Structure 1
Amino acid sequence: MHWVTIIIIGIAANLDNLGISLAYGMKQVKIPVLSNAVIALISMIITYVAVTAGSTVVAYISPHTANVLGSLLLCVIGVWTLMSHRFSNQRIAGHPELFDGDKNLVISIREAMALGFVLSANCLAAGIAIGANGISALWTVISIGVFSFITVGLGSHFGSLLTKTLLGKYSTVISGWLLIIIGIFEVFIK
Protein backbone atom coordinates (compact mmCIF):
# COMPACT_ATOMS: atom_id res chain seq x y z
CA MET A 1 0.00 0.00 0.00
CA HIS A 2 1.13 3.55 -0.72
CA TRP A 3 0.96 4.85 2.85
CA VAL A 4 3.39 7.71 2.27
CA THR A 5 1.41 8.90 -0.75
CA ILE A 6 -1.91 8.59 1.09
CA ILE A 7 -0.65 10.66 4.02
CA ILE A 8 1.05 13.29 1.86
CA ILE A 9 -2.01 13.64 -0.40
CA GLY A 10 -4.15 14.13 2.73
CA ILE A 11 -1.83 16.90 3.89
CA ALA A 12 -1.33 18.50 0.46
CA ALA A 13 -5.04 18.58 -0.35
CA ASN A 14 -5.75 20.34 2.94
CA LEU A 15 -2.98 22.91 3.25
CA ASP A 16 -5.30 25.43 1.58
CA ASN A 17 -7.82 24.67 4.33
CA LEU A 18 -5.15 25.52 6.90
CA GLY A 19 -4.25 28.81 5.24
CA ILE A 20 -7.87 29.88 4.84
CA SER A 21 -8.91 28.85 8.35
CA LEU A 22 -5.86 30.68 9.76
CA ALA A 23 -7.03 33.83 8.04
CA TYR A 24 -10.56 33.27 9.35
CA GLY A 25 -9.21 32.77 12.87
CA MET A 26 -7.23 35.98 12.56
CA LYS A 27 -10.44 37.82 11.65
CA GLN A 28 -12.17 36.24 14.66
CA VAL A 29 -14.50 34.14 12.48
CA LYS A 30 -15.22 30.90 14.35
CA ILE A 31 -15.59 27.51 12.70
CA PRO A 32 -17.36 25.28 15.26
CA VAL A 33 -16.56 21.57 15.49
CA LEU A 34 -19.80 20.52 13.75
CA SER A 35 -19.21 22.95 10.88
CA ASN A 36 -15.63 21.67 10.63
CA ALA A 37 -16.96 18.10 10.46
CA VAL A 38 -19.31 19.11 7.62
CA ILE A 39 -16.36 20.58 5.67
CA ALA A 40 -14.37 17.35 6.22
CA LEU A 41 -17.34 15.18 5.20
CA ILE A 42 -17.83 17.12 1.96
CA SER A 43 -14.13 16.76 1.18
CA MET A 44 -14.39 13.01 1.81
CA ILE A 45 -17.43 12.59 -0.44
CA ILE A 46 -15.88 14.55 -3.29
CA THR A 47 -12.62 12.63 -2.90
CA TYR A 48 -14.45 9.29 -2.98
CA VAL A 49 -16.30 10.21 -6.17
CA ALA A 50 -13.07 11.45 -7.76
CA VAL A 51 -11.00 8.40 -6.75
CA THR A 52 -13.74 6.09 -8.03
CA ALA A 53 -13.84 7.98 -11.34
CA GLY A 54 -10.06 7.79 -11.60
CA SER A 55 -9.99 4.08 -10.87
CA THR A 56 -12.61 3.51 -13.59
CA VAL A 57 -10.10 4.85 -16.11
CA VAL A 58 -7.84 1.87 -15.35
CA ALA A 59 -10.49 -0.47 -16.79
CA TYR A 60 -10.01 1.10 -20.23
CA ILE A 61 -6.23 1.55 -20.35
CA SER A 62 -3.26 -0.40 -19.07
CA PRO A 63 -2.33 0.02 -15.39
CA HIS A 64 1.08 1.40 -16.40
CA THR A 65 -0.46 4.03 -18.67
CA ALA A 66 -3.03 4.91 -16.00
CA ASN A 67 -0.23 5.27 -13.43
CA VAL A 68 1.77 7.57 -15.70
CA LEU A 69 -1.31 9.64 -16.61
CA GLY A 70 -2.38 9.86 -12.98
CA SER A 71 1.11 10.91 -11.91
CA LEU A 72 1.30 13.52 -14.66
CA LEU A 73 -2.13 14.80 -13.63
CA LEU A 74 -0.88 15.23 -10.05
CA CYS A 75 2.09 17.24 -11.38
CA VAL A 76 -0.22 19.37 -13.54
CA ILE A 77 -2.52 19.99 -10.56
CA GLY A 78 0.53 20.98 -8.51
CA VAL A 79 1.70 23.45 -11.17
CA TRP A 80 -1.84 24.84 -11.53
CA THR A 81 -2.04 25.23 -7.75
CA LEU A 82 1.26 27.12 -7.74
CA MET A 83 0.14 29.42 -10.56
CA SER A 84 -3.38 30.13 -9.32
CA HIS A 85 -2.81 30.46 -5.56
CA ARG A 86 -2.87 34.26 -5.56
CA PHE A 87 -6.41 34.53 -6.85
CA SER A 88 -9.02 32.26 -5.30
CA ASN A 89 -7.66 31.48 -1.84
CA GLN A 90 -6.56 35.01 -1.03
CA ARG A 91 -10.04 36.23 -1.95
CA ILE A 92 -11.67 33.69 0.37
CA ALA A 93 -9.20 34.28 3.20
CA GLY A 94 -9.33 38.03 2.89
CA HIS A 95 -13.10 38.19 2.84
CA PRO A 96 -14.66 35.79 5.35
CA GLU A 97 -17.97 37.51 4.75
CA LEU A 98 -18.18 35.58 1.48
CA PHE A 99 -19.20 32.51 3.48
CA ASP A 100 -20.46 34.13 6.69
CA GLY A 101 -23.79 35.12 5.18
CA ASP A 102 -25.45 36.17 8.44
CA LYS A 103 -22.36 38.20 9.49
CA ASN A 104 -22.29 36.71 12.99
CA LEU A 105 -18.59 35.71 12.80
CA VAL A 106 -19.52 32.02 13.09
CA ILE A 107 -19.56 29.62 10.14
CA SER A 108 -22.88 27.77 10.48
CA ILE A 109 -23.52 24.30 9.08
CA ARG A 110 -25.17 25.74 5.97
CA GLU A 111 -22.26 28.16 5.45
CA ALA A 112 -19.82 25.28 6.07
CA MET A 113 -21.43 23.31 3.25
CA ALA A 114 -20.71 26.08 0.76
CA LEU A 115 -17.20 26.59 2.13
CA GLY A 116 -16.60 22.82 2.07
CA PHE A 117 -17.37 22.58 -1.65
CA VAL A 118 -14.95 25.41 -2.42
CA LEU A 119 -12.20 23.99 -0.22
CA SER A 120 -12.58 20.50 -1.71
CA ALA A 121 -11.64 21.60 -5.24
CA ASN A 122 -8.12 20.20 -4.69
CA CYS A 123 -9.67 16.90 -3.61
CA LEU A 124 -11.55 16.48 -6.87
CA ALA A 125 -8.60 16.70 -9.21
CA ALA A 126 -6.16 14.92 -6.90
CA GLY A 127 -8.70 12.15 -6.27
CA ILE A 128 -8.99 11.39 -9.99
CA ALA A 129 -5.20 11.14 -10.25
CA ILE A 130 -4.97 8.96 -7.14
CA GLY A 131 -7.68 6.64 -8.49
CA ALA A 132 -5.86 6.32 -11.81
CA ASN A 133 -2.74 5.33 -9.89
CA GLY A 134 -4.64 2.49 -8.20
CA ILE A 135 -4.19 3.83 -4.67
CA SER A 136 -6.76 2.80 -2.06
CA ALA A 137 -9.92 4.89 -2.24
CA LEU A 138 -10.90 4.12 1.36
CA TRP A 139 -7.59 5.19 2.91
CA THR A 140 -7.29 8.23 0.67
CA VAL A 141 -10.79 9.37 1.67
CA ILE A 142 -10.00 8.82 5.35
CA SER A 143 -6.71 10.71 5.03
CA ILE A 144 -8.41 13.64 3.30
CA GLY A 145 -11.15 13.78 5.94
CA VAL A 146 -8.83 13.51 8.93
CA PHE A 147 -6.40 16.14 7.64
CA SER A 148 -9.27 18.44 6.65
CA PHE A 149 -10.68 18.28 10.16
CA ILE A 150 -7.24 18.81 11.72
CA THR A 151 -6.16 21.70 9.48
CA VAL A 152 -9.44 23.62 9.70
CA GLY A 153 -9.60 23.09 13.47
CA LEU A 154 -6.02 24.17 14.07
CA GLY A 155 -6.26 27.11 11.69
CA SER A 156 -9.48 28.38 13.20
CA HIS A 157 -8.15 28.01 16.75
CA PHE A 158 -4.68 29.43 16.27
CA GLY A 159 -5.44 31.91 13.48
CA SER A 160 -3.86 35.06 14.78
CA LEU A 161 -0.75 33.24 16.02
CA LEU A 162 0.01 30.98 13.05
CA THR A 163 -1.01 33.15 10.13
CA LYS A 164 2.32 34.93 10.38
CA THR A 165 4.32 31.70 10.02
CA LEU A 166 5.75 30.45 6.74
CA LEU A 167 3.19 27.62 6.69
CA GLY A 168 0.30 30.07 6.95
CA LYS A 169 1.69 32.44 4.31
CA TYR A 170 2.79 29.80 1.83
CA SER A 171 0.31 26.95 2.40
CA THR A 172 -0.89 26.92 -1.22
CA VAL A 173 2.64 26.98 -2.60
CA ILE A 174 3.66 24.11 -0.30
CA SER A 175 0.55 22.20 -1.37
CA GLY A 176 1.40 22.66 -5.06
CA TRP A 177 4.97 21.43 -4.59
CA LEU A 178 3.80 18.43 -2.56
CA LEU A 179 1.44 17.41 -5.37
CA ILE A 180 4.26 17.69 -7.93
CA ILE A 181 6.56 15.60 -5.71
CA ILE A 182 3.85 12.94 -5.24
CA GLY A 183 3.30 12.81 -9.01
CA ILE A 184 7.03 12.29 -9.67
CA PHE A 185 7.28 9.77 -6.82
CA GLU A 186 4.37 7.72 -8.15
CA VAL A 187 5.92 7.42 -11.64
CA PHE A 188 9.01 5.75 -10.25
CA ILE A 189 7.67 3.45 -7.50
CA LYS A 190 5.76 1.05 -9.77
Structure 2
Amino acid sequence: MVSFSMLLLAFAVSLDSFGTGLTYGMKEIKIPIKSVLIISSCSAITFFMAMGFGHFLERFLSPQAGQMAGGLILLGLGSYFLFQVAKPDKRAETVPKEKTIVKLEIKSLGIMIQILKKPTIADLDKSGSINGWEAVLLGVALSLDAFGAGIGAAMVDMPPITTAFTVAAMSSIFVLAGIKLGFAVSKVTWMKKLTFLPGILLIIIGLMKL
Protein backbone atom coordinates (compact mmCIF):
# COMPACT_ATOMS: atom_id res chain seq x y z
CA MET A 1 0.00 0.00 0.00
CA VAL A 2 1.27 3.45 -0.94
CA SER A 3 1.60 5.67 2.14
CA PHE A 4 1.68 9.45 2.38
CA SER A 5 5.37 9.34 3.36
CA MET A 6 6.12 7.22 0.30
CA LEU A 7 4.35 9.66 -2.03
CA LEU A 8 6.16 12.57 -0.38
CA LEU A 9 9.51 10.82 -0.85
CA ALA A 10 8.76 9.99 -4.49
CA PHE A 11 7.73 13.60 -5.08
CA ALA A 12 10.93 14.92 -3.52
CA VAL A 13 13.32 12.69 -5.48
CA SER A 14 11.41 13.20 -8.76
CA LEU A 15 11.57 17.00 -8.89
CA ASP A 16 14.86 16.75 -10.80
CA SER A 17 12.96 14.79 -13.44
CA PHE A 18 10.48 17.65 -13.80
CA GLY A 19 13.25 20.23 -14.11
CA THR A 20 15.07 18.10 -16.68
CA GLY A 21 11.89 17.53 -18.69
CA LEU A 22 11.22 21.27 -18.58
CA THR A 23 14.71 21.99 -19.90
CA TYR A 24 14.29 19.55 -22.78
CA GLY A 25 10.86 20.94 -23.61
CA MET A 26 12.19 24.50 -23.75
CA LYS A 27 15.02 23.31 -26.01
CA GLU A 28 12.41 21.50 -28.16
CA ILE A 29 14.16 18.18 -27.59
CA LYS A 30 11.65 15.34 -27.54
CA ILE A 31 11.62 12.37 -25.17
CA PRO A 32 9.41 9.59 -26.62
CA ILE A 33 7.25 7.48 -24.31
CA LYS A 34 9.63 4.54 -24.80
CA SER A 35 12.52 6.66 -23.55
CA VAL A 36 10.46 7.92 -20.60
CA LEU A 37 9.83 4.28 -19.63
CA ILE A 38 13.58 3.59 -19.84
CA ILE A 39 14.29 6.59 -17.60
CA SER A 40 11.67 5.52 -15.05
CA SER A 41 12.99 1.94 -15.12
CA CYS A 42 16.47 3.24 -14.26
CA SER A 43 14.93 5.14 -11.35
CA ALA A 44 13.11 2.03 -10.09
CA ILE A 45 16.15 -0.26 -10.39
CA THR A 46 18.55 2.19 -8.74
CA PHE A 47 16.14 3.00 -5.91
CA PHE A 48 15.45 -0.71 -5.34
CA MET A 49 19.20 -1.42 -5.17
CA ALA A 50 19.67 1.48 -2.74
CA MET A 51 16.92 0.11 -0.52
CA GLY A 52 18.51 -3.34 -0.68
CA PHE A 53 21.74 -1.80 0.58
CA GLY A 54 19.78 -0.03 3.30
CA HIS A 55 18.25 -3.33 4.45
CA PHE A 56 21.74 -4.86 4.49
CA LEU A 57 22.89 -2.10 6.84
CA GLU A 58 19.87 -2.77 9.05
CA ARG A 59 21.30 -6.19 9.92
CA PHE A 60 23.88 -4.47 12.07
CA LEU A 61 21.37 -2.24 13.85
CA SER A 62 18.45 -2.78 16.18
CA PRO A 63 14.99 -1.94 14.74
CA GLN A 64 14.86 1.28 16.75
CA ALA A 65 18.39 2.30 15.75
CA GLY A 66 17.67 1.48 12.10
CA GLN A 67 14.51 3.58 12.13
CA MET A 68 16.37 6.50 13.69
CA ALA A 69 19.32 6.12 11.30
CA GLY A 70 16.97 6.18 8.31
CA GLY A 71 15.25 9.29 9.59
CA LEU A 72 18.60 10.98 10.21
CA ILE A 73 19.80 10.09 6.69
CA LEU A 74 16.71 11.68 5.12
CA LEU A 75 17.01 14.65 7.47
CA GLY A 76 20.69 15.04 6.57
CA LEU A 77 20.00 14.77 2.83
CA GLY A 78 17.28 17.39 3.08
CA SER A 79 19.57 19.75 4.98
CA TYR A 80 22.34 19.14 2.44
CA PHE A 81 20.01 19.95 -0.47
CA LEU A 82 18.94 23.17 1.24
CA PHE A 83 22.60 24.08 1.81
CA GLN A 84 23.33 23.53 -1.88
CA VAL A 85 20.42 25.80 -2.85
CA ALA A 86 21.55 28.56 -0.47
CA LYS A 87 25.26 28.32 -1.33
CA PRO A 88 26.37 30.62 -4.16
CA ASP A 89 27.89 28.80 -7.10
CA LYS A 90 31.49 30.04 -7.43
CA ARG A 91 32.66 27.44 -9.89
CA ALA A 92 33.59 28.83 -13.26
CA GLU A 93 32.92 26.62 -16.24
CA THR A 94 36.40 26.60 -17.74
CA VAL A 95 36.41 23.06 -19.13
CA PRO A 96 35.90 22.95 -22.92
CA LYS A 97 32.33 21.81 -23.50
CA GLU A 98 33.17 19.50 -26.38
CA LYS A 99 35.40 17.41 -24.10
CA THR A 100 32.83 17.01 -21.34
CA ILE A 101 30.19 14.30 -21.71
CA VAL A 102 29.74 12.89 -18.22
CA LYS A 103 31.51 14.23 -15.16
CA LEU A 104 31.04 12.56 -11.77
CA GLU A 105 31.55 14.55 -8.60
CA ILE A 106 31.32 12.46 -5.44
CA LYS A 107 29.46 14.18 -2.61
CA SER A 108 28.25 13.02 0.79
CA LEU A 109 25.57 10.37 0.21
CA GLY A 110 25.00 11.44 -3.38
CA ILE A 111 26.46 11.77 -6.86
CA MET A 112 26.07 14.86 -9.00
CA ILE A 113 26.38 14.24 -12.71
CA GLN A 114 27.11 17.13 -15.00
CA ILE A 115 24.37 16.00 -17.35
CA LEU A 116 21.94 17.34 -14.74
CA LYS A 117 23.66 20.73 -14.92
CA LYS A 118 23.18 20.78 -18.70
CA PRO A 119 20.64 18.10 -19.65
CA THR A 120 20.96 18.71 -23.39
CA ILE A 121 24.37 16.98 -23.22
CA ALA A 122 22.48 13.68 -23.15
CA ASP A 123 21.37 14.25 -26.75
CA LEU A 124 24.67 12.85 -28.00
CA ASP A 125 23.73 12.61 -31.67
CA LYS A 126 22.10 16.07 -31.72
CA SER A 127 18.97 14.54 -33.24
CA GLY A 128 16.57 16.60 -31.15
CA SER A 129 15.23 13.44 -29.53
CA ILE A 130 16.37 11.24 -26.63
CA ASN A 131 16.50 7.59 -27.66
CA GLY A 132 18.17 4.30 -26.71
CA TRP A 133 21.39 4.68 -24.77
CA GLU A 134 20.81 8.41 -24.44
CA ALA A 135 17.71 7.61 -22.38
CA VAL A 136 19.71 5.13 -20.28
CA LEU A 137 22.40 7.76 -19.67
CA LEU A 138 19.81 10.32 -18.62
CA GLY A 139 17.94 7.80 -16.48
CA VAL A 140 21.08 6.81 -14.59
CA ALA A 141 22.02 10.47 -14.08
CA LEU A 142 18.60 11.25 -12.62
CA SER A 143 18.40 8.16 -10.43
CA LEU A 144 21.89 8.08 -8.88
CA ASP A 145 21.27 11.36 -7.10
CA ALA A 146 18.46 9.68 -5.12
CA PHE A 147 20.58 6.71 -3.99
CA GLY A 148 21.05 8.11 -0.49
CA ALA A 149 17.31 8.68 -0.16
CA GLY A 150 16.75 5.03 -1.10
CA ILE A 151 19.01 3.88 1.72
CA GLY A 152 17.13 6.09 4.16
CA ALA A 153 13.76 4.85 2.88
CA ALA A 154 14.75 1.23 3.53
CA MET A 155 15.87 2.00 7.07
CA VAL A 156 12.52 3.59 7.91
CA ASP A 157 10.81 0.38 6.74
CA MET A 158 9.27 1.49 3.45
CA PRO A 159 8.50 -1.56 1.23
CA PRO A 160 11.20 -1.77 -1.50
CA ILE A 161 9.12 -2.90 -4.48
CA THR A 162 6.18 -0.57 -3.87
CA THR A 163 8.47 2.38 -3.16
CA ALA A 164 10.60 1.74 -6.25
CA PHE A 165 7.53 1.55 -8.49
CA THR A 166 6.08 4.69 -6.89
CA VAL A 167 9.32 6.56 -7.56
CA ALA A 168 9.34 5.27 -11.16
CA ALA A 169 5.73 6.32 -11.74
CA MET A 170 6.30 9.75 -10.22
CA SER A 171 9.47 10.19 -12.28
CA SER A 172 7.59 9.37 -15.51
CA ILE A 173 4.79 11.78 -14.68
CA PHE A 174 7.22 14.56 -13.82
CA VAL A 175 9.34 14.10 -16.95
CA LEU A 176 6.26 14.20 -19.19
CA ALA A 177 4.77 17.16 -17.31
CA GLY A 178 8.07 19.03 -17.54
CA ILE A 179 8.33 18.44 -21.29
CA LYS A 180 4.75 19.59 -21.90
CA LEU A 181 5.26 22.72 -19.83
CA GLY A 182 8.66 23.36 -21.38
CA PHE A 183 7.16 23.41 -24.87
CA ALA A 184 4.45 25.78 -23.63
CA VAL A 185 6.56 28.37 -21.83
CA SER A 186 9.63 30.36 -22.72
CA LYS A 187 10.95 31.30 -19.27
CA VAL A 188 11.86 29.19 -16.27
CA THR A 189 12.70 31.84 -13.69
CA TRP A 190 9.77 30.87 -11.46
CA MET A 191 11.17 27.33 -11.19
CA LYS A 192 14.15 28.67 -9.25
CA LYS A 193 11.80 29.40 -6.37
CA LEU A 194 11.03 25.67 -6.11
CA THR A 195 14.62 24.42 -5.81
CA PHE A 196 14.30 24.27 -2.03
CA LEU A 197 11.33 21.85 -2.12
CA PRO A 198 13.23 18.51 -2.26
CA GLY A 199 15.25 19.49 0.80
CA ILE A 200 12.19 20.61 2.76
CA LEU A 201 10.27 17.42 1.89
CA LEU A 202 13.14 15.11 2.87
CA ILE A 203 13.52 16.95 6.18
CA ILE A 204 9.79 16.51 6.85
CA ILE A 205 9.96 12.78 6.09
CA GLY A 206 13.05 12.41 8.26
CA LEU A 207 11.39 14.18 11.19
CA MET A 208 8.27 12.03 10.79
CA LYS A 209 10.38 8.89 11.12
CA LEU A 210 12.46 9.93 14.14
TM-score exceeds 0.5: yes
Structure 2: stretches of 5+ with no match in the other structure? 90-104, 106-111
Aligned counterparts, 1:38-187, within 5 A: 38-85=38-85, 92=115, 95-161=118-184, 164=188, 166=190, 168-187=191-210
Instruction: Give structure 1 stretches of 5+ with no counterpart.
Output: none
How far apart are the structure 2 equivalents of 1:60 and 1:179?
Answer: 24
Residue in structure 2 matched with residue 24 of structure 1 by the alignment: 24
Cα gap change, 1:165 to 1:8, in 2 (>3 Å): farther
Please state how far the C-alpha of 1:111 moved relative to its aligned partner.
0.5
Q: 1:132 and 1:51, CA in 2 relative to 1: closer, same or farther beyond 3 A? A: same
- Equivalent residue of 1:13, what SS? helix
Paired letter, 1:21: G
Q: CA offset at residue 97 of structure 1?
A: 3.3
Return the offset for 1:27.
1.0
CA shift, 1:48, in A, is 0.4
How big is the shift at 1:10?
Answer: 0.8
Report the number of matched residues: 186
Per-residue CA deviations over 1:139-167 (Å, capped at 9, x if unaligned) read: 1111101001100011112214466374x
Residue 42 of structure 1 aligns to a residue whose secondary structure is helix
Q: TM-score, normalised by structure 1?
A: 0.88
Match of 2:108 in 1: none
Aligned to 2:101: none
More helix by share: 1
**Counterpart in the other structure of 2:99:** none
Q: Whole-Å Cα distance in 1 between the matches of residues 195 and 145 of structure 2? A: 10
Which whole-Å CA distance do the structure 1 matches of 2:10 and 2:128 have between them?
Answer: 28
State the superposition RMSD in angstroms: 2.3
Alpha-carbon separation, structure 1, partners of 2:133 and 2:194: 26
* Partner-residue secondary structure (3-state), 1:60: coil
Change (3 A) 1:6 1:94: closer
Deviation digits for residues 110-160 of structure 1 (CA, Å, limit 9, x no counterpart): 101111111012321111001111111111111101001100011112214
User: Contact between 1:16 and 1:171, CA under 8 Å: does it hold in 2?
Assistant: no
Is residue 18–residue 171 contact of structure 1 (8 Å, CA) maintained in 2?
no
**Does residue 6 of the first structure (1) align with residue 6 of the second (2)?**
yes
Give the conservation status (yes or no) of the 8 Å contact 1:56–1:132. Answer: no
Q: CA separation in 2, counterparts of 1:93 and 1:28? A: 17
Displacement of 1:169: 2.7
Larger Rg: 2
* C-alpha distance in structure 2 between counterparts of 1:55 and 1:146, whole Å: 23
Cα contact 1:19–1:169 (8 A) shared by 2: no
